[in-house]
Amino acid sequence: MFGRQRLAVGIGAFASGVAGGEGYQLAERTGHAGLFWAAVAAQCALLPLLLGRALHRPSRSLTVRGR
């Protein structure tokens, strides 16, 4: 199991690196590198809040009703 988790994390990191690199290259080429970094900063600020809210939601448990 641990090997699969490491592989999944590695693939995710590689994919985000490629996507981020391509995004930065496009922003740099168009002269909007500042907007790229603003988007990165917004993502860093908002993503933990959104994930925290989603993960701490009370789960709906299935209840068995008596007859």
**pLDDT by residue (tens digit) across 9-67?**
999 999 999 999 999 999 999 999 999 999 999 999 999 999 888 888 766 655 566 55
* Integer Cα distance of 17 and 43 in angstroms: 15
Taking the complete model, does pTM exceed 0.85, yes or no? no
Could you count the other beta carbons within 10 Å of the beta carbon of residue 24? 14
Determine which helix (DSSP H) or strand (DSSP E) holds 44, and give its type and residue range: helix 33-55
Longest CA span, the chain: 68
Could you count the other beta carbons within 10 Å of the beta carbon of residue 32? 13
